[in-house]
Amino acid sequence: MTTPIAPIVLVLVSCVALVCLFRLAKGRTLTAGQLNNQSEHLKSVDVEAFRNLIDPAEEEFLRLHLAPAEFRRIRRERMRAAVDYVLAVASNAAILLRVGEGARLNSNAATAASAQQLMDTALRLRLYALQGLVVLYFGILLPDRRISVLRIAERYEQMTRQVIMFGLQYPSLGVTAAL
């Protein structure tokens, strides 16, 4: 009796994809020296420019005022630029996740609670960013399809506010100025 290969391959691919998603969501481990100087590792993200790139109203304006071939070309360029922003957001979220992990062990209960909240937000944002990358790449492949990744911009702004509050409680990390 022969065993079907397709289900086995599907299970293996699913396991590999799950491990990759977990590693991407978790981020890279930073050393203690790297955690002390976060402003060097955080990437600046212009949220307003990112919002403009993914704004459905702006997309509709372009759709109405450009020839279809020109619209698809411009849309692909805008989606590639949005991918760069989302990668920066995901990278920042991974760094702030590590900052939160380190600060969560702080003896001050308020700081530890704030660090846990920062970690939760950073992890959620990282997962939204990974999901957004899939959507953006889909938009690059099929530029006529309407897509939305506005949630990433909203979550990034929420995380930035939390980092500012966290930075007031834990100023030695220097993360607030970099965002």
Could you tell me the pLDDT band of residue 22, with boundaries at 50, 70 and 90? low
Give the containing element (helix H, strand E) for 143.
none
Could you tell me the pLDDT band of residue 164, with boundaries at 50, 70 and 90? confident
The burial of 26, by beta-carbon neighbours within 10 Å (0-12 exposed, 13-18 middle, 19 or more buried), is given as middle
Nearest to 62 by CA among 142, 144, 141: 144
Residue 133 clears pLDDT 70, i.e. is over it: yes
Residue 60 clears pLDDT 70, i.e. is over it: yes
Contacts of 106 (CB under 8 A, 6+ apart): 112, 115, 170
Q: Report how far residue 81's alpha carbon sits from residue 51's, in angstroms, rounded to the nearest whole number.
A: 11
Question: Model-level pTM?
Answer: 0.69
